[in-house]
Amino acid sequence: MTAQTAVGTPIVVTDASFAEDVLASPLPVLVEFWAPWCPPCRVIGPILNELAAEYAGRVTIAKLNTDEEQRSMVQLGVQGLPTLIVFKDGREVERLVGARSKRHYQERFDALLCYAEALPTAPPDVWRSSPRGGTVIASRGKRKTNTPYRLTAGRTD
């Protein structure tokens, strides 16, 4: 990891550094696929900077400029900007397309961190979220999306 991670700012990822900075990271990594001409990308940029400081040492936030680095974007099937993909142990665990609120990102990070220790104990293809937003459950069978599993915080009601 770079020194940027230690001070709580997003790291810049390239196609050449993607495997080392993202897939081999011991921490969960959120990668923002963005472009300078994308208005929603400019809106969530400051939000991600704040979250990088809040979650420093627990989640790494990375940015990949799709105008300059297209190979990773194509390999992962990114079609809209901004797209945020969370990787844990080299696997995609969450995909968000479009701008969201800071609170939404905080909820997703908290869910990710809540279940981060439980994920390696089960095969990654069996984890999925409850359709009603309940706790993470194990289920056999194929998913209709390209995301192997999703993380969902448990209900408090």
Task: Give per-residue pLDDT as tens, 140-156.
Answer: 444 444 444 445 554 44
Q: Which are the contacts of 16, defined by CB distance < 8 A and separation ≥ 6?
A: none
The whole-number pLDDT of residue 5 equals 46
Structure pTM? 0.72
Q: Please name the residues in contact with 36: beta carbons below 8 A apart, sequence gap of 6 or more.
A: 65, 67
Is the pLDDT at 95 greater than 80? The verdict is yes
Q: Per-residue pLDDT averaged across 75-88, rounded?
A: 95
**Predicted local confidence at residue 44, as pLDDT:** 96
Query: Model confidence at 133, in pLDDT bands (50, 70, 90)?
Result: very low
Cα distances from 156 to residues 18, 62, 109, 134, in angstroms, run: 37, 31, 17, 9
Query: Which pLDDT belongs to residue 116?
Result: 64
If one looks up domain 3-118 in CATH, what number appears? 3.40.30.10
Percent of the chain predicted with pLDDT > 90: 61
Alpha carbon distance 123, 20 (integer Å): 23
**DSSP states along 33-101:** EE-TT-HHHHHHHHHHHHHHHHTTTT-EEEEEETTT--HHHHHTT--SSSEEEEEETTEEEEEEES---
Average pLDDT of the chain is: 79
Partners of residue 87 on adjacent β-strands: 29, 92
Active site positions, annotated: 38, 41
